[in-house]
Structure 1
Amino acid sequence: MTPISFPLLRHSLAALALAVAGAAFASPGAHGPNGEHLDAPSGAIAVSATPRVETHSEAFELVGKLDHGQLSFFLGRYETNEAVLGARVELEAGGLKATAAFRAESGDYLVSDAAMVAALARPGQHALVFTVEAGDDSDLLDASLTVADTHAVAHTDGDAGLPLAWTAAGVLGLAAVGTVALRRRRPASIQSARGGRA
């Protein structure tokens, strides 16, 4: 019978333990050198990114975001992409109404009403209606704003990593026990081999 190479077996156990441990601590939520997520699911952008809104009608198009306690958006002509400046825009959502202020310096509109922003910041999907009056033109734009529950997602991601972490710990423990057993068995094997030659 071919004798077992104990050093090779010991190194193989150690390599296996390191490989599983690496997988456990790298997933889920693995990060690159700059801290970016490497294995984020396709819907993760709704969690980590700023909630955004996009809508259009035959006359207007609107693109905006909810950030830093305010909803800001740009308004333009749908056919030509020409910016619509100085229009009157009213937002209605969840039974609340707020008028957007036009900011000439940046060319966008801002909704900073505290009650409106607080309602939009709650996790969930919010139905929005923008009433636009620009010169002789007026229109209604329906939109939807989705705000993810980042707290719940963070806990889910953390719990998902526990089984892998426990697996890694178990493999490391088995590798350690195996190494100790091999060290104790090796002298006896050598002595037996020497006795056989004698």
Structure 2
Amino acid sequence: MIRHFFLTLLLSCACVAHAGPGAHGPNGEHLDAPASSGAAVDAQPTIEANTETFELVGILAADELSVMVDRYATNEPLLNGNLEVEFNGIKAQGKLHADFGDYSFTDEKLLRALRQPGNHALVFTLIAGNESDLIEGSLNVVADGHADGFGPFWKARWPWIIVSVALALAAAAGLVWRRHAQKKN
């Protein structure tokens, strides 16, 4: 009986693992992908901004603000400019990584300020040869949602885990009832 219980529990957990990352819906879509109507809960904060001449996309990572700049009309990467960012009186110069095509901001004072939850208005100053531009954008940083100790793995799977445990308990109860019925006869 105990063996049947653990076998049922194991199969239930395997079903949960099978429906995890990479699962597909009826139209072939990835079920673990972020919904198209909103941002992913655990996504890194990003910024997108443009002017008539240039556009930029940036990601706030743990150790840097990485910003890619290109020409708005052609999407040609801008790899020969100087990029500066200003936020709440803090100015920082980006370092061009030509191999990645991004400008990296690693100023600790800037990063510490940007990591604070809120909607941060950033102003980028771009100088490329005879061209210059001010590009304004907003970086939205949400509070860390893992303060409760449950990361994205458990938050995404708790309904399946509850169903699996309930099925395992129901199977165990059925085995106990069947064993009890056999003893009566």
Q: What range describes the TM-score normalised by the shorter chain of this pair?
A: 0.5 to 0.7
**Fraction of identical pairs, as percent:** 40
1:52-63 alignment to 2 at 5 Å? 52-63=46-57
Residues 91, 188 of structure 1: CA spacing in aligned structure 2 closer, same or farther, 3 A cutoff? Answer: closer
Distance 1:25 1:94, change over 3 A: farther
Deviation per CA, 1:85-108: give whole Å up to 9, x if none. 432322112332212233455543
Give 3-state SS (helix, strand or coil) of 2:110's partner. Answer: helix
Aligned pair partner of 1:182 in 172, 178, 181: 178
1:128 and 2:118 correspond: no
The reply to whether residue 91 of structure 1 matches residue 85 of structure 2 is yes
Aligned to 1:9: none
User: CA contact under 8 A between 1:89 and 1:130: conserved in structure 2?
Assistant: yes
TM-score, L = length of structure 2? 0.65
TM-score, normalised by the number of residues in structure 1: 0.61
1:183 shift after superposition: 2.8
Aligned residue among 45, 52, 56 for 1:51: 45
Structure 2, unpaired ranges of 5+? 24-29
Q: In the comparison of the two structures, how many residue pairs are matched?
A: 171
Deviations 1:156-179 (A, max 9, x none): 754676676566545544543443
Matched residue SS, 1:73: strand
**Equivalent runs, 1:3-22 vs 2, <5 Å:** 21-22=12-13
Do the aligned partners of 2:49 and 2:55 also contact (CA within 8 Å) in 1? yes
- The one-character-per-residue Cα deviations of 1:108-155 (angstroms, maximum 9, x if unpaired) are 322111110122233443221112223333222111223342524863
Q: In proportion to residue count, which structure has more helix?
A: 1
Q: Which runs of 5+ in 1 are unaligned?
A: 1-13, 190-198
Structure 1 or 2, whichever has the larger Rg, is 1
Find the counterpart in structure 1 of residue 150 from structure 2: 155
**Alignment check: 8 A CA contact 2:68 2:103 kept:** yes
Q: Distance in 2 between matches of 1:78 and 1:166?
A: 49
Does the Cα contact within 8 Å between 1:20 and 1:171 map onto a contact in 2? no
Equivalent pair of 2:22/2:32 in contact (CA under 8 Å): no
Counterpart Cα distance in 2 of 1:64 and 1:94: 18
Given that 1:46 and 1:147 are in contact with CA atoms closer than 8 Å, whether structure 2 keeps it comes out as: no
CA-based RMSD of the aligned residues comes to 4.1
The AA in structure 2 aligned to 1:155 is F
| 2:16 maps to 1:31 | no
CA distance in 2, matches of 1:95, 1:120: 12
1: CA distance, partners of 2:113 / 2:90: 9
Map Cα deviations across residues 47-97 of structure 1 (whole Å, 9 max, x no partner). 1x4433222101111123223511222222222333334323221123322
Q: What secondary structure does 2:123 align onto?
A: strand
Q: Report the Cα distance in structure 2 between the residues aligned to 1:38 and 1:159, rounded to whole angstroms.
A: 14
